[in-house]
Structure formats: C-alpha cells, structure tokens
Structure 1
Amino acid sequence: MSERRIIVDHLKFSYEGLFNVDEMYTTIVQWFYEKGWDWYEKMNQEQVTETGKHIKLVLEPWKNLSDYHREEMRIRIIMTDVKEVDVEFEGKTMRMHQGLIKIVFDGYLKTDRHGWWSDNIFWWWVTYLFDRILMRDHFKKAESWVESDVQDVFEKIKVYLNAYNYTYRNKQLE
C-alpha cells in the first residue's frame, strides 16, 4: 500500500471583493497545464440563494516525480455570496463578480505510488528502511518540490486576486 505524507497542511487564503470566477478558474487550470500536472475535479457545486451564489470546488491535481514518488495537491475553493455586478472601467461597463473567496491548499507526497513494495510485511519493512535511511536526500528533495509548487500556485492566485482588487476597486472608488 502506498504511503501518503502531508507536506503542506491547510495553507489558507481568503479574499473579499471583485473577481471573475471563470478567469480565476482558468488561471488555476493554466498553471497546472504549464507545469505538466494532471488533475481531477473532485467537486464542482453551485447553489443559488437569496444572498447570492455559493460555489464549492475541490481540485486534486497530481504530478509523477519518478516511478516511486508522486506529488499531489488538494485545493478547496469556497465562494460565498457571489453576485454579478457592473463596474465602469475606462469608459466601459464590465460584468464581474463580487463576494467572499476562501481557499485551502494541502500538499502531499505519495511514495510507492504503484503499491509494488507493500504486498507483504517483509517488503514493507525494506521500503521503510529504504525511505528513511538510504533515500532520505531524495525524499527531502521531493518534499521541497511539493512545498515549492503549493507555494507557487498559492502566490499565483493571490497575485491574480490582488491585481483585480487594485485595478478595479481603486478605480471604482475614484
């Protein structure tokens, strides 16, 4: 059986203001595509209420680092009270969304991704010793890649949303 170790646990980000749901989703998907990740959309729910839309997304992308290591990520996005608003910008009216976004990132490192080495207890112990003693440097390198990739996608989304806030909200207040 494969071992899945959590490397980044509940890296959180929240944002309230103007954004575009489709552009934000495209930004996330584009990042994974550019970096060579495969991904699975585990959940995509939208509920319309009196206060606005409530949207839940759970993305579970992964990337094979080697035949033995696999990098995995879970991104949970919860958007609440999302309303469509019209914003005047440089003489044009643009349709955007306004609401609250909460995003939680988790990063995992999966070893023995095929499950070849854990059929019986002897091979499991060999794998355990192999991981902890002989291949410690390789594990640390893979661990740093997980941390780096989670931080990179986190910063990409954060910069995107803050750019929206700076560009449109500040112009709206003038």
Structure 2
Amino acid sequence: MPERRIVVDHLQLSYEGLFDASKLYALIDSWFYEKGWDKEERINQEILSPEGKQTHIILQPFKNISDYYKLVIKITMNLTDVKDVEVEKNGSTQKLNQGLVKFTFDGYVVSDRHSNWEKSPLLWFMRVMFDKYIFKKQFSRAETWLLSDVEDLHTRIKNFLNIFKYETYAQREL
C-alpha cells in the first residue's frame, strides 16, 4: 500500500457575500489544467432548501511527478445558503450568487504509488530505508512543490473572492 504523508493539513478559507459560483469553479478547473494536475471529482452534492442551495464538493486532483511519487490535493468546498441574486453594475444587470463559501485544503505526497515495494517484508523494509535516507531530497522537493501549488491555488481563490467583496463595498459607497 502506498504511503501518504500529509504536507498541508486543513488549510481553511471562508467567504460570505456575493460571488459567481460558475466562475469560481471555472477558475479552479483552469488552474488545474494550467499546472498540469489531473482533476478527480469525488463528491458533488446539491440540496435545495428554503434558505438556499447547500452544495458539497470534494475534489481530489493528483499529479504524478515521477514513477515513485505522486502529489494529491484534497479540496472540500461547502457552499451554504446560496441564493441567486441580480446586481446592477455600470448600467447592466449581472446574475451572481450570495452565500457562505468554505474551503478546506489538504495536501499529500504519496510514495511508492504503484506498490512495487510492498511485495515482501524485505522489500517493504528496503523502501522504508530508501525513503528515510536515500530519497530524502526527492521527498523534500515533492513537498516544496506541493506546498507551492496549494498556496498558489489558495491565493488565487482568495483574490477572486476578494474582488467581489471590493466591488460590493464600492457600490455601497456610490
């Protein structure tokens, strides 16, 4: 069984206000494509309630960086009490969403992704020794790469949501 080592543990991002859910999802999709990640959508549930839509999405994209290592990001998106609203901006009407958005990011480095070193106790012991002493530098590079990508995605989503926050405050002042 491949070994998963956690690098990013429950990095949180939450936002309440106006946003465009379809553009937010498209931003995440395009980021994965741009960075060469293979996207895997584990769960996509939507529940309609009187308060608004409740959406729960779990994405688990991965990136094979070598025959031995694989990077995995688990993104949990919870959109709560989402309602469709129309906002007037510069004389035109835009359809946006209003509600609470919560993200949780987890990042893992998976070693021995094909389980080649699990066939006998001797191979397993050798894998542990190789991971600890020989592949230490490669693991460090994989860890740095994963941290960089998670921080970049977190920052892009945060900036995207802050654009709507800024536009909302600017409209109130006018």
Rounded to whole Å, the distance in 2 between the matches of 1:88 and 1:120 is 66
Match of 1:38 in 2: 38
State the SS of the aligned residue for 2:17: strand
1:25 aligns to what? Answer: 25
Task: Tell me if structure 2 keeps the 8 A contact 1:89–1:168.
Answer: no
Please tell me the residue identity of whatever aligns with 1:46: E
What RMSD in Å do the two structures reach over aligned CA positions? Answer: 0.9
Please tell me whether the aligned partners of residues 13 and 103 of structure 1 are also in contact (alpha carbons under 8 angstroms).
yes
Deviation at 1:89, TM superposition (A): 0.3
Deviation at 1:168, TM superposition (A): 3.7
SS at 1:104 equivalent = strand
Q: Match of 1:113, SS? A: coil
Aligned match of 1:91: 91
Aligned position for 1:104? 104
Q: Give unmatched runs, 5+ long, in structure 1.
A: none
Is the partner of 2:72 in helix, strand or coil? strand
- TM-score, structure 1 as length reference: 0.97
Greater shift, 97-106 or 161-170, is seen at 161-170
Question: Cα offset for 1:118?
Answer: 1.1
Distance in 1, Cα, partners of 2:45 & 2:134: 45
- Between 61-70 and 131-140, the greater mean CA deviation after superposition: 131-140
Counterpart of 1:63?
63
Q: Conserved in 2, the CA contact under 8 Å of 1:77 and 1:101?
A: yes
What is the DSSP-based 3-state SS (H/G/I as helix, E as strand, rest coil) of the residue aligned with 1:117?
A: helix
Query: How many equivalent residue pairs?
Result: 174
State the 1:162 CA deviation: 0.5
How far apart, CA to CA, are the structure 1 residues paired with 2:17 and 2:102? 12
* Structure 2 residues without counterparts, runs of 5 or longer: none
Q: Which residue of 1 aligns with 2:117?
A: 117
Contact preservation (8 Å) 1:60, 1:72:
yes
Q: Distance in 2 between matches of 1:26 and 1:117?
A: 39
Q: Counterparts of 1:72 and 1:22 in 2: how far apart (Å)?
A: 24
Q: Aligned partners of 2:48 and 2:172: how far apart in 1?
A: 27
Alignment-mate amino acid for residue 132 of structure 1: K
Amino acid at match of 2:123: W
Aligned to 1:153: 153
Q: Matched residues in 1 for 2:20 and 2:167: separation? A: 13
